[in-house]
Structure formats: structure tokens, C-alpha cells
Amino acid sequence: MITARDIMHSGAQCIAADQTLMDAAKMMRDMGVGALPICGSDQKLKGIITDRDIIVRCIAEGKDPSMMKAMELGGHLHCVRAEDDMDTVLKKMEQHQIRRIPVIDGDRLVGMISEADLAKGHREGHHLTDQQIMNFMDSVYVSH
């Protein structure tokens, strides 16, 4: 059985809940990513922030990204457990129409799964079927 741990990329770096959106944007730029998990001072996963969140919910609303804290945009968190099978991972991503999802082991962040990881897993033969990939794309990219 292929699990989230098999597909995820490990070493996901958190932004602290009290860091600014400017800090988040710089981290995203430097790491070449479009989302960052948010961790509290206890190092537990508290949320996730995307580049789109920064644009739409901060800058477009005239707020100052150098003053606004990451946790202010944290929103509702969807994540999967490291031992979850890929059907569970895909179902959660499809259900919530999300393109990336944090992976936890207990209450600690251990990695992230992005749409690129799904494509790579499919290409490398990690038992992601063409149908699973098509269903994911249909759910996330096609309006219903």
C-alpha cells in the first residue's frame, strides 16, 4: 500500500504563526514554493498560507503585509496522516479542492504533498492510476 509518506516531500519548512506575511512571501520566493505550513511556538501545525492568500486577502484588501501576521490568514486546516493511503489523500484533496496538503505524524508536520508530488508519484509508478489523476484534476480544476 502506497501511503502519504511515500509521495510527500519531507523537510517542509514552517513559518511561525507570529511572523509577517512579508516574511512568508520572502520564504516562498526563496524556497520556490506557493504555500507554507504555519506552526505555533509549540512547533505544532496551526494552518497553511498560500501565495494567493497573501495577494487576495491582504494586498488586494489594502492591508500591509509587513504588519499582518501569518496566522491571521491561517484559515481552516486540512491535512493527512503519514500512514494514510493515497485514496484517502486524493479524496481529501478533491473534497476540499486543494492543490497541496500537509502531512502529519501524530501532531507534528513531517512533509507536504503537492499536485507536483502526485504527478511525480504517477510517473514513477507509485500506483497512482490514470483514473485517480484524472479524478483529482477534474475535482480541483473543473468548476462544478
- Residue 119: per-residue pLDDT: 81
- Residue 70: per-residue pLDDT: 96
- Residue 127: per-residue pLDDT: 65
| Cell numbers representing residue 12 in the block | 517542509
Number of compact structural domains in the chain: 1
- Residue 133: per-residue pLDDT: 78
Task: Give which of 52, 51, 46 is closest to 109, Cα–Cα.
Answer: 46
- Residue 1: per-residue pLDDT: 80
Q: From first to last of the 144 residues of the chain, give the pLDDT tens digit.
A: 889 998 898 888 999 999 999 999 999 999 998 999 999 888 788 999 999 999 999 999 999 999 999 999 886 789 999 999 988 999 999 999 888 999 999 888 999 999 888 887 766 765 677 787 788 888 877 755
Please check whether residue 86 is in contact with residue 128, taking contact to mean a CB–CB distance below 8 angstroms: yes
d(CA 57, CA 76): 14
Please list the residues that pair with 100 across neighbouring strands. 114
Range of the domain at 88: 4-141
CATH assignment of the domain containing 64: 3.10.580.10
